[in-house]
Amino acid sequence: MSEASAPGPRRNSRISPWPFVGMGGMACAFFLYAASALLAPWWAVAALLVAWVALFVVACAWWSLHPRWVPGVAVAAVVLWFAVMALGGAVLGWSA
């Protein structure tokens, strides 16, 4: 069997760092979502965690398909958390 037709992984393929950056951002966002229990009621924290899980599933699905988009999902997670916490504090009176 010649070397050109041997099956195996490609040696010249580069691994993109962006999915790893995005998953690091998702881990950071998780701590924000979990710490929301200090300010928000239980039902809001539960809804935020469900939203985080949905965003995590999207990030996992885009790992190979769109690796450069995964950090954007992490940024969207932090923006969503900030918007919910700011609106909850301003409109619903959440405070520590």
Kindly tell me the burial class for residue 1, based on how many C-beta atoms sit within 10 Å of its own C-beta (0-12, 13-18, 19 or more): exposed
Structure tokens at 17: 């760092």
pTM of the model: 0.82
- pLDDT over 80 at 10, yes or no: no
pLDDT, tens digit (0-9, with 9 covering 90-100), for 28-78: 999 999 999 999 999 999 999 999 999 999 999 999 999 999 999 999 999
Rounded distance between C-alpha atoms, residue 24 and residue 30, angstroms: 10
DSSP for residue 3:
S
- pLDDT at 71 (0 to 100): 97
- pLDDT at 62 (0 to 100): 94
The answer to whether residues 29 and 74 touch, using CB atoms and an 8 Å cutoff, is yes
Domain boundaries, the chain: 41-91
